[in-house]
Structure 1
Amino acid sequence: MLRAGENAGLPADGEGGALRREAFPFGPLEAGEVLVEPILGSWEANIEHALARSPIDICRSRGEQAVVVGNLGVVRVLKSNAIRPGTELREGDLCLLMPIGKSDPYGYAELAYGYDAPHTIGLMAKRSKIDERLLLPIPSDTAYSLEQWATYGRYFTAWDNWHRALGCWRTQIPDDDPGNHLVFGWGGGVAFAELLLARRAGFRVAMTAGSDERLAFLRDNGIVPVDRRKFPDLSLPTRRGAPDPEVHRRHRASRAGFLELVDELSEGKGVAIFVDNIGEPLYGATVPALARQGVITTCGWKAGMRLTNLRGAECISRHIHVHTHVWRLQDSPEIRDFQESSGWIAPAGSTVVYDFDRIPDLADDYAQGRIGSYFPLYRVNPV
C-alpha cells in the first residue's frame, strides 16, 4: 500500500520504497460488490505516477491515509453479492478488472479505479472487493493464457484511442488508400497494440525502441523498427538554467536525422497518425514529423504534461490533436471479444512476471528502464 505523508518526493531507496507491506482491512460485501482474489496485475504508468506522487498525490486527492494501488489485471471470484439482473458471476470465475472508478453519463472514465477514485481497493492485495459492474469475465474456452489476458489494459486503451484517431484522420482524408500513409509511434505497449491495429487497417507502421530485444520484437510482429539509440539527443533540452549551445546543437542534429528517416519511411509525406504517449520531451520532434492533415493522438503522459503549440502553423497544416483516456465501459465486451476472435493480444511469451514479494523491485526496474518486455506483470495469488 501507499501511505499518506510518506516519501512525498521520490524515495531515496527507489520508487519501490514508497510501498508498504501491511494488513489492509475492509468491510463486508455491500450489495453489488464481489469478493475477489487477484491473480495477476499489470504494471502501468499510473502506478509509477502514484508512487512518485506526480502529477498528484493520490492519498491527498482521495483524502485517505492508505491506498492499495493496481487497477488492471486478472481476478478470481470468491463470493458474489451481485444485484444486477442477468449477472452471472460465480465462485471461481476469472475476470478482468475494468479500471473505471467513476464515469460520466456516456461511460467514459473520469476517475481511475485503484488510482484517484476514492474508496477503491487495487490489486496489490491478497483479497479485494470490487463493484460487479467492473468485472468482465474471460471466455471460459479462451485460446490464450492468463498472462496474455493480463495485458488487456494496453490493448483496450489502444482500441479506443486508435478508433478516435482514425475517425479524425478520415474526416480530412476520406478515401485515400491507407497503404500510402505512415502511422508512427514512440515506444510503449499501448503504441505497439495501436500500430498492430493500424497495420490491420492497411497502413505502413513504424515504431521506436531502444534495445536490440525490443527492436527484434517489433520486427517479428510486422512493425518497422526504428532504433532510438541512433538519435541520442532527440529529447528536448531542459529550459532550466542557461542554454548550452552544444546541447542544442546535438538536439538539432538528432532531430534532423529522425525527420530524414520519417521522410524516407513516408515517401516525403510525413506521419499520417503519430501515437505520442510520451509528451513534452519528444513533442518537438513529433509535430514537425506530422503530415498535412495529420493527427497527433495520445492517451497518456509518461514524461511531461504541458505542451506548447504554434497555433497558426497547426491551423495551416490542418493538424488534429486527439486526447483520450481509458475507454467506454460499455465497449469492454466488444474489445474482449475482438481480442479472442482475432488474436490481437500480447504474443505468447512476451510478458515478464514478478512475484508478489518482488513488487518493489518491479517498481524500481520499471522506473529505471530495466525491463525489456512491453508487458510487465506481478503475481499476487497462484492460478
Structure 2
Amino acid sequence: MTVAAKAWKLYPGRPGQRGPSELVLDDIELPRPRGQEVLVEPLFGCWAGNIGHALERKPIDVCRQRREPWVVLGNVGVVRVLELGEAIDDLVPGQLMMLFCASVVDEFGYPILALGYDAPGTMGCMATRMIIRRHELIPVPADTRHPLPRWAAFSGASITAWSNWELAYGTLRLQLDVDELARPWVFGWGGGTTMVELDLARRFGCRTVQLSASAARRALIEAAGITALDRGAFPDLHFDAPRFAAELDYRRAYLASELAFERAVAGITEGAGVNVFIDFIGAPVHRATLKVLARQGVVTSAGWKLGMDLSFLRASECIARHQFVHTHYARYRQGLAAIAYAEAEGWLPPVDDEVWSFDTVPELVRHAAAGGGGFFHVFAINPT
C-alpha cells in the first residue's frame, strides 16, 4: 500500500531555456518505508541557495545530473516522524527531526552529494510527505525552548557555519595563539550563512564585520551584534579580469572602489587587517579579500555563489602565510555538536516574520530571487 502526497516538482530544463524554471505542483505516490527508511511529515522548510541554483540550472541541471524525470527540492527543514522501516530502533513516531542533508558521504562522514539536490534517488521537503533515510535526519532537542521555524533554518546555514568556523578558527589558532592575538578581526561577504558564522565568531571573542548593500539586512546584522558595513560604498568592487585588462573606464572605477574598500578596512581594524575572511561569494571579491587579509590570515568558504574559479600568486600567499579553507556542509557529529551549542546558547538564525504557505512556494521563489526580506525565508508544509 502506498502513501499519497503532493509535491512541488522540478523537471529537466529545455534546450535554450532562459531564466529560472517553474516548479509544478503534482500528486505523488510514496512507498511504505523499509530498512533504514523513514516516512516523515515535513512541517517547516527554509529557502536555501541550492534551490535557486537548481531552478537556474547553475552550475548543473540536477534532473539531468541524476538522470531522473523530476526532482523534489528542499533540504533544509524540520519534519515529524510518521512511520519507520524495520531496521530503525532509535526513533519513535511523532519525534521531531531536522533534515541533515549529507546524503552521500565518504568513509569519514564528510558530504559528497546533498539530499534533495544532487544525490540520486532522494527527495526534499517541498512535499506533504517524504521518504528519507535515517542518516539524513538529526534530532531536534527534546522540549526545545526555540521555535521550530528557527530550527528549520538552522539545519542548513548554521550546521554549515559550525563546520566551516571550526576549521577556519582552528587554522588561525595553529598560527597565532590567543595570547598573541586575543580578539581576531573576522569579516564576511555573503548572506545568511555568513551572518550566522560571524555570530558564532563573535561568541568566540572575535570582532566581526559583514558587508551588505541592503539596509534591511544591515539592520539584521547589527541586531546580531555584528558591525554592518555598507557594500554600496564600494559600488564597482566586482572584479572581472578580461574587462580589467581591456576597458580603461572599468579599470579606473574598479580600482577606485578597491582603494576605498582597503581604506575602510584599515580604518576599522586600525591597520591590522582581517584575520579571517568568510567569503561565500567567490571570484568578484577574491582580489579585494586578499588585499585586506592580514599576515597569517585565513580565507574560508563553504560556497561559491558568484564564481568557482579563483587565482592568486602562490609566492605571495606563502610569504604571507595565508591559508585557504574550503568546506561543504558537515559531518553528523559536527551537526550534533552545533545543535547542543545552539540549544544552550540561543545561537539560531533570525527568520523572517512572514511564513509562506505550501501553496505559495512559487511566490517565495520569486521573492527570494529578488532579494526580498531578510536572510531566512521559511515556508510551512504541515504547520503544527
With the length of structure 1 as denominator, give the TM-score of the two structures.
0.93
Match of 2:4 in 1: none
**23, 42, 66: which one pairs with 2:27?**
23
1:144 and 1:266 mapped to 2: Cα distance?
35
- The alpha-carbon distance between structure 1 residues 282 and 231, as it changes in their structure 2 partners (threshold 3 A), is same
Matches within 5 A, 1:177-326: 178-237=181-240, 239=242, 243-326=246-329
Shift of 1:221: 1.8
> What secondary structure, in the 3-state scheme, does the structure 1 residue paired with 2:27 have?
coil
Letter in 2 for 1:2: L
Taking the aligned partners of 1:200 and 1:80, their CA distance within structure 2 comes to: 38
Alignment pair present for 1:378 and 2:364 = no
**Is the Cα contact below 8 Å between 1:7 and 1:18 reproduced in 2?**
no
| Superposition TM-score, scaled by structure 2 size | 0.93
What secondary structure sits across from 2:270 in the alignment?
A: coil
Give the match for residue 71 of structure 1: 75
Q: Distance in 2 between matches of 1:189 and 1:351?
A: 15
Show the counterpart of 2:3. Answer: none
2:245–2:251 Cα contact (<8 Å) kept? no
Q: Output the amino acid matched with 1:106.
A: F
1:273 and 1:296 in contact (8 A); partners too? yes
Q: Aligned pairs, how many?
A: 375
Secondary structure of 2:264's counterpart equals helix
- The CA distance in 1 between the partners of 2:101 and 2:190, in whole Å, is 23
- The residue type equivalent to 2:132 in the other structure is I
Q: Which residue of 1 aligns with 2:141?
A: 139
Alpha-carbon distance change, 242 to 120 in structure 1, aligned in 2, over 3 angstroms: same
**1:59 and 2:63 aligned:** yes
Tell me by how many angstroms 1:364 deviates: 2.0
Residue of structure 2 in register with 1:4 after alignment:
12
* Structure 1 portions without partners, runs of 5+: none
State the 1:84 CA deviation: 3.8
Task: Specify the SS of the correspondent of 1:239.
Answer: helix
The alignment's C-alpha RMSD in Å is 1.8
Distance in 1 (alpha carbons) for counterparts of 2:328 and 2:191: 16
Residue 34 of structure 1 corresponds to 38
Indicate how the Cα distance of structure 1 residues 318 and 241 shifts in structure 2: closer, same or farther if over 3 A, else same. closer
Asked whether the 8 Å contact 1:213–1:372 carries over to 2, the reply is yes
* CA displacement, residues 65-106 of structure 1 (integer Å, 9 cap, x when unaligned): 111111110111121225244x1x222222101001111111
Over 3 Å counting, the alpha-carbon distance change for 1:74 and 1:62 in structure 2 is same
Q: Secondary structure at the match of 1:234?
A: coil
Aligned residue number for residue 362 of structure 2: 360
Deviations 1:213-250 (A, max 9, x none): 22222222211110111111111136369832212211
Q: In structure 2, how many angstroms separate the alpha carbons of the residues matched to 1:241 and 1:274?
A: 24
Structure 2 unaligned residues grouped into runs of 5+: 1-8
Between the aligned residues of both structures, percent identity stands at 42
Report the counterpart of residue 173 of structure 2 in structure 1. Answer: 170
The amino acid of 1:123's aligned partner reads C
